[in-house]
Chain A
Amino acid sequence: MPKNKTVFEDCDILVVGGGMAGTGATFESRYWGRDLKIICVEKANIDRSGAVAQGLYAINCYMGMQWGENMPEDHVRYARNDLMGLVREDLGYDMARHVDSTVHMFDEWGLPMMRNKETGRYQREGKWQIMIHGESYKPIVAEAAKKSANKIYNRIMITHLLKDESNPNRIAGAVGFNMRTGDYHVFKAKAVIVAAGGASHIFKPRAVGEGMGRTWYAPWSNGSAYALPIAAGAKMTQMENRIVLCRFKDGYGPVGAYFLHLKTYTQNANGENYEKKWYEHTKKMVGEYIDHHPTPTCLRNHAFIQEVAAGGGPIHMVTKEAFQDPHLETVGWENFLGMTVGQAVVWASQNIDPKYTNPELTTSEPYVMGSHATCSGAWVSGPEDIAPDDYYWGYNRMTTIEGLFGAGDTVGGSAHKFSSGSFTEGRLAAKAAVKYITDKKANDIKVSDTQYENLREAIYKPLENYQVGRNEITAGTVSPSYLSPIQGLQRLQKIMDEYCGGLTNNYMTNGNLLNKGLEQLSILQEDLEHVGAEDYHQLMRAWELKHRALTSQCVTEHTLFRKETRWPGYYYRGDHMNLDDENWHCLTVSQRDPETGKFTMEKKPVYHIVDEEKKKTA
């Protein structure tokens, strides 16, 4: 039995993850739950954690209702169009109607917003984006969370959720370990808000040497957003809807400001507009979706991928014109320095000055997340006032497990939230969690010592695996008894890459490959019982890997279930190469049985906001 000290914390609301969604949840919980004990637990340090750790140069979700720029229903139309018709429009509408008040708070708190000199309004980058000097975005929201929480725990990795023993479908808290002290932490809670990160590094990245850390999404986003609810038996949705990003080569520097503000554009190696060339081809696959405006992100990727496969690469971003304007040149560079410093390093090292050289673009390895131009995540209840009955079971953003809420990457179906929308969703989940507690839904929760003592055993097992196995061998990394976390991670990435639509097959998969992938993943899961961790840091890597592996299984099950190619450019089902609205204009929902580990799949209807006048003409 591991001898690590146990630290108990009894609280009302436990927020797992202190990124944008988690800080929003922690902040808002205090407003509604004055006397509640609110705890936020974070794997790193909330001053610089999550996807916004290095800052952002834009807030990508702002309506501008005060100036009549956009209304929430406009954002719903935008997000559903970008995701090829499939989003949870109730969740999207709900996020959008609140997001402006979030952004106005950031402004008041000191986040430097750029302003349009003529209108005095926030400087628009595009229809939805506003530009900021956001280097300190994360420290600012962290301070808001610190002022609201009873306590913030840094450097604790949450590995499992606790379940109520009197009602197996109710949450009771979470457990994890401190990667510095090794202490075992048991958080008993009335409500838990999972605000952890999506998943990078489940597919083999383009760079596999030292540069593997330069993924588009942060390498510390290890899929806990999904693994925690999946393992607890919560229903998940649209997990097949992974995202591939078209970004500057090697550094994955963002292109939003370049396209929208600098008005740069792409061309193939011969200086041609290649997107036009693939119009008819794409139309055969997806029909009229290719005529939608703006062109859905996946379809633009699709043209890029086809053009490169046909020999038209490299694809360039034409920057030489825009960068002649010194102001735009500054924006172009500061855009990276504010959120992807690595791209500036790549250009400096390769002597790429976009004033004189048009930089190369690339498409990334796939990622699974719920807050960007994609919407994988937990199947949650919508808000009482607008959610259709199929989407409503009592508390906004509550998963199918009572008392387990989600926000940010955790919530499925609500695409295009980005940083501001994730913070907003945290606020929504927080208010609902307070209501859940004040409605006395969390009374008489029972957690026995056995439950958390069994988990303690499982959590520290990788340390023992290493200790025992290491004594068998002289030195080195090769053991017949254990796998190191990096060895397991590389195996996971290879399986996902080759069987589930990664880079190697140009994002192509099919039923046979997916079935084989599931087989390999299940063997990997068995082997992960033998992952060995040398120290507490590696123990964290071991649990990150386990969360990634569980997330990957769910992604692969979903990808197998949806027998169509809904998002060409994100992935392709070679055995079902066309979009099929007749059979698949629906949301996919999975549930993993915590006892057997088996997934069951179902279809759920999509509800669209249909305007009265449009309905008449339809």
Chain B
Amino acid sequence: MSTFVYMTRCDGCGHCVDICPSDIMHIDKTIRRAVNIEPNFCWECYSCVKACPQQAIDVRGYADFAPMGHKVRVLREEKKGTISWKIKFRNGTVKDFVSPITTKPWGKHIPKLAEADSPNQGDMQSQILYNEPHGLNTEKDLPAINKSSFKKGVYY
């Protein structure tokens, strides 16, 4: 599939331009609306579709192998923490799916490490990373293996 933009819905806000990982959503200077400038570099990742506040972007399966008459629509609702999908087959079959996208309020549970307790000098020399070994939940030290366990050769 590749993305395309509905003329009557797009208001040229540029959210899709900002998010597209392939840099293929651009604003057309004449019509002042978004357009997929390189459909053959589209991964159909739906990042632009999800980001569009007007639901102006849709997808039509790649011309070289996807017959017409299908739809896969999505609504990503950050506040509700869900993503909803509607799949419509060429023959009219419809399937709906809803999944969670997060379990916590956005931005509240990811630490700002500049404000975390400073690591001590010993930790810098050790093999542990941030929040280890505690974060392994094993109540043990970080595993290590004796260097002499590594043998050169074919057999193991």
Which residues of A pack against B, CB within 8 Å?
27-28, 30-32, 34, 43-45, 47-50, 53-54, 65-66, 71-73, 77, 80, 85, 89-90, 93-94, 97-98, 100-101, 104-105, 108-112, 133, 135-136, 140, 143-144, 147-148, 155, 179, 207-215, 218-220, 250, 330, 333-334, 337-338, 341-342, 344-351, 353, 383-388, 424, 427-428, 431, 434-435, 438, 537, 540, 581, 585, 605-611, 614-615, 618
Q: A104-B136, A385-B127, A428-B129 are in contact. Are A342 and B43 (CB under 8 A)?
A: yes
Q: Say what secondary structure dominates the interface of chain B.
A: loop
A345 to chain B, nearest CB (A): 5
Which B residues are in CB contact (< 8 Å) with A330? 97
Does B102 belong to the interface (CB within 8 Å)?
yes
A92 to chain B, nearest CB (A): 11
B14 to chain A, nearest CB (A): 11
What are 8 contact pairs spanning A and B, CB under 8 A? A85-B156, A110-B110, A155-B23, A179-B23, A342-B1, A349-B67, A349-B68, A349-B90
A148 to chain B, nearest CB (A): 5
Bitwise interface map of B from 44 to 55 toward A, beta carbon under 8 Å scored 1, else 0: 111100000000
By the criterion CB–CB under 8 Å, are A342 and B44 in contact? yes
By the criterion CB–CB under 8 Å, are B154 and A85 in contact? yes
Does B119 belong to the interface (CB within 8 Å)?
yes
Does B124 belong to the interface (CB within 8 Å)?
yes
Task: For B138, give its contact among A65, A211, A614 (CB under 8 Å).
Answer: A65
Tally of B interface residues using CB under 8 Å:
86
* Chain B 98-135 interface residues, beta-carbon cutoff 8 Å to A: 99-107, 109-114, 116, 118-119, 124, 127, 129-133, 135
- Residue of B44, B83, B93, B155 with highest tally of chain A CB at under 10 A: B44
Which B residues are in CB contact (< 8 Å) with A540? 23
By the criterion CB–CB under 8 Å, are B154 and A349 in contact? no
By the criterion CB–CB under 8 Å, are A105 and B70 in contact? no
Which A residues are in CB contact (< 8 Å) with B43? 53-54, 213-215, 218-220, 342
Residue of B nearest to A249 (CB): B65
Does B28 belong to the interface (CB within 8 Å)?
no
Task: For B90, give its contact among A348, A385, A434 (CB under 8 Å).
Answer: A348
A490 to chain B, nearest CB (A): 11
Residue of A nearest to B133 (CB): A101
The list of the 7 closest CB pairs from A to B, nearest first, reads: A211-B62, A110-B104, A608-B156, A54-B45, A209-B64, A101-B135, A349-B66
- Residue of B26, B61, B91, B138 with highest tally of chain A CB at under 10 A: B61
Task: For A27, give its contact among B19, B74, B101, B113 (CB under 8 Å).
Answer: B113
Does B95 belong to the interface (CB within 8 Å)?
yes
By the criterion CB–CB under 8 Å, are A44 and B21 in contact? yes
Which B residues are in CB contact (< 8 Å) with A438? 124
By the criterion CB–CB under 8 Å, are A610 and B156 in contact? yes
The distance in angstroms between the C-alpha atoms of A108 and B2, with both chains bound, is: 35
Does B13 belong to the interface (CB within 8 Å)?
no
By the criterion CB–CB under 8 Å, are A54 and B47 in contact? yes
Which residues of B pack against A, CB within 8 Å?
1-2, 18-23, 26, 37, 39-47, 59, 61-72, 74, 76, 83, 85, 87-91, 93, 95, 97, 99-107, 109-114, 116, 118-119, 124, 127, 129-133, 135-138, 142-145, 147, 149-156
Residue of A nearest to B137 (CB): A66
Q: A345-B59, A346-B66 are in contact. Are A143 and B44 (CB under 8 A)?
A: no
By the criterion CB–CB under 8 Å, are B109 and A338 in contact? no
Which A residues are in CB contact (< 8 Å) with B99? 112, 133, 135, 334, 337-338
Q: Say what secondary structure dominates the interface of chain A.
A: helix
By the criterion CB–CB under 8 Å, are A207 and B156 in contact? no
Which A residues are in CB contact (< 8 Å) with B69? 349
By the criterion CB–CB under 8 Å, are A45 and B21 in contact? yes
Which A residues are in CB contact (< 8 Å) with B136? 65-66, 100-101, 104
A88 to chain B, nearest CB (A): 10
B46 to chain A, nearest CB (A): 5
By the criterion CB–CB under 8 Å, are B110 and A144 in contact? yes
By the criterion CB–CB under 8 Å, are B20 and A44 in contact? yes
Which B residues are in CB contact (< 8 Å) with A135? 76, 83, 99, 101
By the criterion CB–CB under 8 Å, are A350 and B66 in contact? yes
Which B residues are in CB contact (< 8 Å) with A213? 2, 22, 39-44, 62
Task: For B150, give its contact among A89, A97, A341 (CB under 8 Å).
Answer: A89
By the criterion CB–CB under 8 Å, are A585 and B64 in contact? no
Which B residues are in CB contact (< 8 Å) with A77? 156
The distance in angstroms between the C-alpha atoms of A537 and B24, with both chains bound, is: 8
Which A residues are in CB contact (< 8 Å) with B90? 348-351
A568 to chain B, nearest CB (A): 18
Known: A111-B103, A112-B102; 18 extra A-B contacts, CB below 8 A, are A28-B129, A32-B130, A49-B21, A65-B143, A104-B135, A104-B137, A109-B104, A110-B106, A133-B99, A135-B101, A211-B62, A211-B65, A213-B42, A341-B72, A344-B72, A345-B44, A345-B72, A386-B147
Which B residues are in CB contact (< 8 Å) with A434? 124
The distance in angstroms between the C-alpha atoms of A358 and B155, with both chains bound, is: 41
By the criterion CB–CB under 8 Å, are B110 and A147 in contact? yes
A134 to chain B, nearest CB (A): 9
Which B residues are in CB contact (< 8 Å) with A337? 74, 83, 85, 97, 99
Q: A104-B137, A214-B44, A386-B147 are in contact. Are A209 and B62 (CB under 8 A)?
A: yes
